[in-house]
Structure 1
Amino acid sequence: MKKNKVLIVDDQKSVRSMIRRWVESDPRWEVAAEASQPFEARDRILDTKPDVMTLDVHMPGMDGIEFLKKLLPQYPMPVIMFSSHTTEGADTTLEALDAGAFDFISKPTGSPESLEETKTALIEKLNAALSFNVNFHKTKTYISPPLPSKTETKNIYKRKLLVIGSSTGGTYALRTVLSHFESGMPPTLIAQHMPENFTTLFAKRLKNELGLNVKEAKDKEIMEPGSIFIAPGNYHLAVQKIGKDLYTKLLQTEKVNGHRPSVDVLFDSVVEQRLSDQTVATILTGMGGDGAKALLHLKEKGAVTIGQNEDSCVVYGMPKVAFELGAVSHQLPLDKIGEKIKALAQT
């Protein structure tokens, strides 16, 4: 059986050795080469033509972000970043995702449990990388947010709620979708697969870049028009009714489909609160099938549903499963989804 090839790029030999052991523990993968800095990595790419590259965010000579920006237009490939848990590490990792990184993994803390979790995550993301849409980097464009509407728009929206689920490639996808939103739209809840600390920074970046009321969700926040809530890492996000009003709800129950936050938990909470026929639900790029079954439940109960199409996904996993289940009312390219949500929210 032909094995898939990985290039490991990290300035620490001990880290490269650790990643090599993890990669070689899976019979589907082999290490094509190692590199201690970007210039060496460029040569190894030409020599070995790897299927996937792992890349440390911080390296001497040229940081990982600059390297990605120079590399990916010439050699489009899935790149998995290794990031620290620090705020600085999280912020740099989000920049790496903006620059075109496929996904990221937080470096282990050193405990046996953390080491095993990181190893498992690496193998999972390596396998997901084989479904990477190589045309993504060629078609990717940044969309400038529209000028804020000068007219009061909240009364034109008949739907009460918008919910969105996303995973791999979701940081770019969400920015693109939300760039079409305006201040008076129905409240929006988002489950993006992302660890603690990262979601806080991601919400702040979206707020600053788009000029929208984006925040990391807290428990029992009233959901007002124009508010956009990102599920915090390590918590499920749900909707709940208290009296006549809608509020956020945070849960730390078991992971669902291997995730917390889980898209299924968010979507199913809409069904449980009998809000389906007042909701527009959207599933974006990501590996696996989280959110697909719950999207079908929503559609069956009267929600209007949207799925991202294959060509515009980084990984056509979650939207594919949802589409094949019959859960998607409208399948669209990424750059059309934001405007479609706005239009459907008025119906």
Structure 2
Amino acid sequence: MKKHTVIVVDDQRSVRSMIKRWIESDPNWEVVGEASNPFEARDQIIEKQPDVMTLDVHMPEMDGIEFLKKLLPQHPMPVIMFSSSTTEGTSITLEALDAGAFDYVTKPSGTPESLIEAKEDLLSKLNASLAYDVSVFHNSKKGLQTNNVKSKKDITFKSKVILIGSSTGGTTALRKLLDDVDDSFPPILVAQHMPENFTALFAGRLNAELNTKVIEAKDKQLLENGIVYIAPGNFHLEVQKINNELYTKITQTDKVNGHRPSVDVLFNSVVNCGMGKQSLAIILTGMGNDGAKGLLNLKNNGCLTIGQNKETCVVYGMPKVAFEIGAVMFQLPLEQITDKVKELGSK
């Protein structure tokens, strides 16, 4: 069977060697080229025509974001960034995702556990990248045409809370989904698979770009209309009821489905506090199955449920599993979801 091919781009030879060992530990993958800078990478790409590229966030001689913007229109392919967890590294990684990178792997700290985790994360994302249609990203960057089901002044939401779960491709999808949200919307809670340090910066970027307030959630915050609460990296986000009011709950219990934050944990918490019938839940692009069972639990308890369709997903994993087990009531393109939320929430 023909192996899938990768080019590894990093200015450190030792790092390239490590990544190559990790990749070729999977018999389905082969590293066909290495490069220490974007100019070498460009020549390798033209010659080798790889299926995927791994790219260091900090690149010499040319900014990595500039490289992606020049590369992808000419040679569309999944690009997996290798990112440090520093503030600068996190910021550049988020810019890389905006520029079309498929996903990212956080560089290991050097402990045996972090090395194993980074290797497993890379191999998982390499395999997920095979299902990536690069046209999905470029189409998602175009201006979206909305139907404007109801103007703000006509909408009175009956749902008390909106829940969103997302993973790979979610940073772009969330920006599009939340673009038309304002203070008429009920509280929105988001479980996006991200490590520590990423979520605060991601929330800050959304807050600066959107018309609604976006924050990284903290424990025991009263849920308020028009505010988007992003689950903090490496913590679960839940909804709890205190004196008949809804609050956030931040915990660091075990990972669920390999994730913390977990979409299932968020979704199930709403059922646990008896709010299923007064909620609306959305599952977006992402690999794996996190959120599918939680969405079904919500649906079975009276929640309205929406899943992103295959054609607009970067990775049709989580929404696919949710749809197949009967958890999704409405399966829609990304650009139609907000209007559907308005329609359902105001009935």
TM-score range, shorter chain: over 0.9
**SS class of match (1:237):** strand
Q: What is the letter of the counterpart of residue 256 of structure 2?
A: V
Identity %: 63
Q: What is the TM-score of this pair, normalised by structure 2?
A: 0.96
1:296–1:325 CA contact under 8 A, matched in 2: yes
Aligned to 1:274: 274
Q: In 2, Cα distance between the equivalents of 1:243 and 1:153?
A: 30
Aligned to 1:127: 127
**SS class of match (2:215):** strand
Residue 180 of structure 1 and its aligned partner are, at CA, apart by 1.3
Q: What is the letter of the counterpart of residue 131 of structure 1?
A: A
User: Structure 2: where are the runs of 5+ without partners?
Assistant: none
| 1:176-215 correspondence to structure 2 within 5 Å | 176-215=176-215
Q: In 2, Cα distance between the equivalents of 1:204 and 1:346?
A: 29
* Displaced runs of 4 or more, over 6 A: none
1:37–1:61 CA contact under 8 A, matched in 2: yes
Q: Do the aligned partners of residues 329 and 235 (structure 1) sit closer, same or farther apart at CA in structure 2, a change above 3 Å counting?
A: same
Q: What is the letter of the counterpart of residue 110 of structure 1?
A: G
**SS class of match (1:177):** helix
Q: Do the aligned partners of residues 313 and 156 (structure 1) sit closer, same or farther apart at CA in structure 2, a change above 3 Å counting?
A: same
Residue 211 of structure 1 and its aligned partner are, at CA, apart by 2.9
Residue 182 of structure 1 and its aligned partner are, at CA, apart by 1.1
Name the count of aligned residue pairs: 343
Residue 338 of structure 1 and its aligned partner are, at CA, apart by 1.6
Residue 145 of structure 1 and its aligned partner are, at CA, apart by 12
Q: In 1, Cα distance between the equivalents of 2:77 and 2:243?
A: 51
1:52–1:126 CA contact under 8 A, matched in 2: yes
Residue 109 (structure 2) pairs with residue 109 (structure 1): yes
1:306–1:329 CA contact under 8 A, matched in 2: yes
Cα RMSD after superposing both structures: 1.6
Residue 343 of structure 1 and its aligned partner are, at CA, apart by 2.0
2:155–2:342 CA contact under 8 A, matched in 1: no
User: CA offsets per residue over residues 268-313 of structure 1, 9 Å max, x none?
Assistant: 1111111111111000000001001110111111111110011111
**SS class of match (1:73):** helix
Aligned to 2:297: 297
1:154–1:225 CA contact under 8 A, matched in 2: no
User: CA offsets per residue over residues 161-213 of structure 1, 9 Å max, x none?
Assistant: 10000000000000000001111210010000000110000000000000311
Residue 138 of structure 1 and its aligned partner are, at CA, apart by 3.8
**SS class of match (2:288):** coil
Q: In 1, Cα distance between the equivalents of 2:272 and 2:305?
A: 17
Q: In 2, Cα distance between the equivalents of 1:183 and 1:175?
A: 16
Residue 87 (structure 2) pairs with residue 87 (structure 1): yes
Q: What is the letter of the counterpart of residue 32 of structure 1?
A: V
Q: In 2, Cα distance between the equivalents of 1:66 and 1:155?
A: 42
User: Structure 1: where are the runs of 5+ without partners?
Assistant: none
